Amino acid sequence: MEKHNLSSTVTEFLLLGLTQSPELQRCLFVVFFIVYVTTWLGNFTIITIVITDHQLHTPMYFLLANLAFLDVSDSSVTVPKLLLDLLSQPTAISFNECILQMFFFHFFAGAAILVFVLLAIDRHVAIHQPLRYFTIMNQSVCMWLVAGACLGGFAHSIAQIGLVLHLPFCGPNVLGNFFCDVPQVIKLACTDTYLVELLMVSNSGMLVIILFIISLVSYIVILVRIKKHVTEGKHKPLSTCGTQITVVCLQFIPSIFIYARPFRKFPLDKLASVFFTAITPMLNAMIYVLRNAEMKMAIRRLMRRIIFSGRKL
């Protein structure tokens, strides 16, 4: 490694954001404010419905509620900073805040990706072991699985941050994105980062690809099983699996594009980053609420209870 002057250590990074046009910034602020509010409303609705409606006290909806919490948490790591930066200049972030943003972003995102795999496992058990489903996926098991997903996200994030903190940063300090992420930050290190990039791709990229393949294979096996062996009531499991496959693709494909390749700039990098940090958490909630018949019925039951309580008062 090369020697560097420690007196020139970077203390903050400048974020270029999505655009430098003031007019476009104001328009984007309105767009992402609506996206963020919708994300909160959608995911909060899922969490509230699952907690309050006893008919949804099942393993699948327990996992969905945890996924909703992770989605809104992950979005809250990046989108509020994006909204603030769209209204003010310059868009700077301190080195410590940058490290914290990367840590929590990868922690919540890593845990969410593992919960997606748990949802695939849950559906696999429900289809292949229907009589033993509630015995296998009991409350204790589900809680331990979610705890394991969070621990996995924590381990993944610590590994990422540990590698970044060992790099020297002495300038430049301009990040070509709207938030701190590992690929952009590593490129600003004033040393050869080839080995670190290789480790990062192995940690993030290969892991995401493997989990994506496992999830898809699980759902394909489930769909084949439904087609061959289920003669009545196919619509509900097919709809559930179709919804989850859609959400899995929305989550995994942009992540693979960003993390499963060498850290070089591509024109679509910002679009992919926007998609999996801001858009996907919103779409996940909308898809699960709008395409899930049980969720829509639970919302109607909750609204009736609220209206009935209001009339009594």
Query: Mind listing the domains of the chain with CATH numbers?
Result: 9-312 (1.20.1070.10)
Between helices 139-165 and 59-87, what is the axis angle to 10°? 30
DSSP 8-class letter at 276:
I
More confident residue, 306 or 12: 12
Check pLDDT > 60 for residue 232.
no
- Can you tell me the distance from the alpha carbon of 85 to that of 27, in angstroms, rounded to the nearest whole number? 13
Check pLDDT > 60 for residue 4.
no
- DSSP secondary structure string for all residues of 50-95: HHH-GGG-SHHHHHHHHHHHHHHHHHHHHHHHHHHHHHSSS-EEEH
Whether 113 contacts 69, CB under 8 Å: no
- pTM for the whole structure: 0.87
- Can you tell me the distance from the alpha carbon of 281 to that of 275, in angstroms, rounded to the nearest whole number? 9
Strand pairing category for 12-15 and 174-175: parallel
The separation between the first and the last C-alpha atoms of the chain, rounded to the nearest angstrom, is 73
Q: What is the arithmetic mean of pLDDT over 45-51?
A: 91
Q: What is each CA distance from 208 to 85, 115, 252, in whole angstroms? A: 30, 13, 7
Nearest to 67 by CA among 101, 116, 103: 116
Amino acid at 104: F
- Can you tell me the distance from the alpha carbon of 114 to that of 129, in angstroms, rounded to the nearest whole number? 22
Whether 166 contacts 193, CB under 8 Å: no
| pLDDT tens digit sequence for 102-147 | 999 999 999 999 998 898 889 888 888 888 999 999 999 999 999 9
pLDDT given at position 62:
94
Structure token pair of residue 121: 């496992």
Q: Band of the pLDDT at 91, cuts 50, 70, 90? A: confident
pLDDT given at position 75:
94
Whether 91 contacts 18, CB under 8 Å: no
DSSP 8-class letter at 136:
H
| pLDDT tens digit sequence for 62-81 | 999 999 999 999 999 999 99
pLDDT given at position 3:
42
Residue with tokens 């970044």: 164
Structure token pair of residue 30: 């309105």
Average pLDDT score, the chain: 84
Cβ burial of 37 (10 Å; 0-12, 13-18, 19+) is exposed
Strands of the chain, DSSP E: 12-15, 92-94, 174-175
Residues above pLDDT 70, as percent of the chain: 90
- Can you tell me the distance from the alpha carbon of 40 to that of 34, in angstroms, rounded to the nearest whole number? 10
- Can you tell me the distance from the alpha carbon of 134 to that of 256, in angstroms, rounded to the nearest whole number? 34
Please name the residues in contact with 260: beta carbons below 8 A apart, sequence gap of 6 or more. Answer: 201, 204, 205, 206, 208, 209
